[in-house]
Amino acid sequence: MTMIKHPKRHLILPGVQNLRDLGGYPTADGKLTRWRRVLRGDGLHRITAEGLDALGSEGLTSVIDLRSAAELADEPNPYLGHPDVLFHHQPVYDDLAPTMQRIRAGDHDDPLVPFYLTALIERGEAVRAVLARIAVAPKGAVLFHCTAGKDRTGIIAALLLGTAGVERETILADYALTGEFIAALVEELLERTRQSGGDAEAHARFLACAPPTMAAMLDHIDRRHGSIEGYLKDIGLAAGDISSLRDRLLMG
């Protein structure tokens, strides 16, 4: 798909691997999502001063960090206290460890599916808060990110693209695109697991980003809420915020 591989999609900056634009995607009614309005990314703690300057030149005005408080403390965000960019810490999970342990204890063909459904069902208020922040962000580009830019970021990206009317095939392709950019990060995480005596093979299952994983999440939303918009309404996102999200992604 040419729109997936668009040259403006991947922002190649020193210190980040998986920083991407949600622009340039066609919608079911023939529109295109706008460039440099909404960015998705991996951890920013290694970004260089050059990278920060580059993001500023791309019009970045807001950053939303989806990581837990412990992750933020361990790897501080460079935009915390930034004079020109609004920073919001909006964790999707307050603490990842209990959730991950519960999922690992279960018997799942794809452990990421219950991980994502836990976010949708148990952390609906947190998801609502993230989307509300994006809806009211000032003009310019808003960037939301987690650690690898895959799971928490992938959930929010899918909800945003679906709200804009981007079709499922494209949402799945955008989700899977992460796999092309985080190979080095995946190996680093697996090596940490090996060094600590953990099960690298089991950990690797959590580092995948196959389309069926996201498809299962979207299927759940359709069954339980009728549509992505239905889910957003059910978690309490205001109609005005839903409209603002569409405007941010689609209007000039």
* Sign of the torsion formed by the C-alpha atoms of 196, 41, 96 and 199: negative
User: Which is more confident, 234 or 111?
Assistant: 234
Rounded to the nearest angstrom, the gap between the alpha carbon of residue 58 and the centroid of all alpha carbons in its chain is: 19
Asked whether residue 136 carries a pLDDT value surpassing 80, the answer given is: yes
% of the chain surpassing 90 pLDDT = 79
Query: pTM for the whole thing?
Result: 0.93
pLDDT computed for residue 102 by the predictor: 56
105 band by pLDDT with thresholds 50, 70 and 90: very low
Mean per-residue pLDDT, 246-250? 97
> Which residues have CB under 8 Å from 121's CB, separation 6+?
none
Q: Name which of 91-105, 111-125, 134-148, 205-219 the model is least confident about.
A: 91-105
Q: Catalytic pick from 38, 130, 146, 218?
A: 146
Residue 73 to residue 67: CA distance in whole angstroms = 10
> Which residues have CB under 8 Å from 167's CB, separation 6+?
26, 27, 28
Mean per-residue pLDDT, 128-157? 97
Number of residues that this document lists for the chain: 252
pLDDT computed for residue 108 by the predictor: 59
96 band by pLDDT with thresholds 50, 70 and 90: low
Cβ pair 119, 99 in contact under 8 A: no
Q: Is 209 a catalytic residue?
A: no
Asked whether residue 150 carries a pLDDT value surpassing 90, the answer given is: yes
Q: Name which of 42-56, 159-173, 191-205 the model is least confident about.
A: 191-205
Mean per-residue pLDDT, 67-93? 96
3-state secondary structure of 193: helix
Residue 201 CA: distances (Å) to CA of 58, 148, 204? 39, 18, 5
Asked whether residue 157 carries a pLDDT value surpassing 90, the answer given is: yes
Residue 203 CA: distances (Å) to CA of 61, 65, 115, 198? 35, 23, 13, 8
